A and B are shown apart, each in its own frame.
Chain A
Amino acid sequence: MPVRVQREDFDAGVEIAQLRAANSAVGAVACFIGVARDRNDGERVATMTLEHYPGMTESALEDICTKAKSRWNVLDVLIVHRIGELRPTDQIVLVAVTSSHRGDAFDACEFVMDYLKTEAPFWKKESTPAGARWVEARDSDDTARSRWAHDNDRR
């Protein structure tokens, strides 16, 4: 159940190949890649800088993986999250989930992202033509997360 926080870019193909290599029980891999956009809230974004809370970040991500594994029939979960300065089109985060069947992999992958958005201590600061600004948390992220409070694993 690997969790990594790093400045370097990642190769999703390599990561997924490694995740499922040693396990012939894997029948499905679902993955999500978050990417830096060139616009946010009506402004052009030149760069985005990601700050985090070393130590707590890793334990928060591991806790999210553990929650996903206890809720679905998941074989493995991988989270790679970048920090530092990123530019539009750069990759920010990779979540990959392996399971025997697709339903568990799809749901667990979405669950991990919804929890990561609201529980993992990362903060984004954007540089725009109007100056630098901290990205505001979105209510829609809280809404997305709260869906999982109910017991209906398949929505």
Chain B
Amino acid sequence: MKLTVLYFARLREALGRDREEVVVPVDVTTLAQLRAWLVARGDPWAGAFTEIKRIRGAIDQAMATDTTLLRDGAEVAFFPPVTGG
């Protein structure tokens, strides 16, 4: 499955990139599994995802939970808790 992964705010800075294209294995089907797969690649993902607390995710521009399913071609985003307003 091919995915576009976007990063915002502190997470973007910690990773030194705002997006990447990834191809994940077939057993990566949920948001939590994608996160675990990214972290398993080592640093900077492992460090950033551990250091920054309460990282949230969105799939196709809608807030997602750990169990939300991915789809081929999806735009997935990870970011720290929001602080607008």
Interface size class of A (residues with CB under 8 A): 20 to 34
Number of interface residues of B (CB under 8 A): 17
Is the CB–CB distance between B79 and A137 below 8 Å?
A: no
Question: Which chain B positions have C-beta within 8 A of A53?
Answer: 6, 8, 58, 61, 77, 79
Is the CB–CB distance between A56 and B83 below 8 Å?
A: no
Query: B2 on the interface (CB 8 Å rule)?
Result: no
Known A-B contacts A53-B8, A56-B62; the reply to A123 vs B85 at CB < 8 A is no
Is the CB–CB distance between A122 and B81 below 8 Å?
A: no
One digit per residue, 1 when the CB lies within 8 angstroms of any chain B CB and 0 when it does not, for chain A 98-142 equals 000000000000000100111111111100000000111100000
Is the CB–CB distance between A55 and B83 below 8 Å?
A: no
One digit per residue, 1 when the CB lies within 8 angstroms of any chain A CB and 0 when it does not, for chain B 41-84 equals 00000000000001000100111000000000000010111111
- The distance in angstroms between the C-alpha atoms of A137 and B10, with both chains bound, is 12
Question: Which chain B positions have C-beta within 8 A of A50?
Answer: 84
Known A-B contacts A53-B6, A53-B79, A137-B54; the reply to A122 vs B61 at CB < 8 A is no
From B8, B54, B61, B63, contact of A123 by CB (8 A): B8
From B8, B79, B84, contact of A93 by CB (8 A): B84
**Shortest distance between the CB of B1 and any CB in chain A (Å):** 21
Is the CB–CB distance between B61 and A137 below 8 Å?
A: no
- The distance in angstroms between the C-alpha atoms of A52 and B18, with both chains bound, is 12
Query: B9 on the interface (CB 8 Å rule)?
Result: yes
Known A-B contacts A51-B9, A137-B54; the reply to A59 vs B62 at CB < 8 A is yes
* Dominant secondary structure at the A interface: mixed
Is the CB–CB distance between A81 and B84 below 8 Å?
A: yes
Interface residues of B (CB under 8 A from A): 6, 8-10, 54, 58, 61-63, 77, 79-85
Question: Can you give 23 contacting A-B residue pairs, CB < 8 Å?
Answer: A50-B84, A51-B8, A53-B6, A53-B8, A53-B58, A59-B61, A92-B85, A93-B84, A119-B63, A120-B82, A120-B84, A121-B79, A121-B82, A122-B84, A123-B10, A123-B82, A123-B84, A124-B83, A125-B9, A134-B80, A134-B83, A136-B81, A137-B82
Interface residues of A (CB under 8 A from B): 34, 50-53, 55-56, 59-60, 81, 92-93, 113, 116-125, 134-137
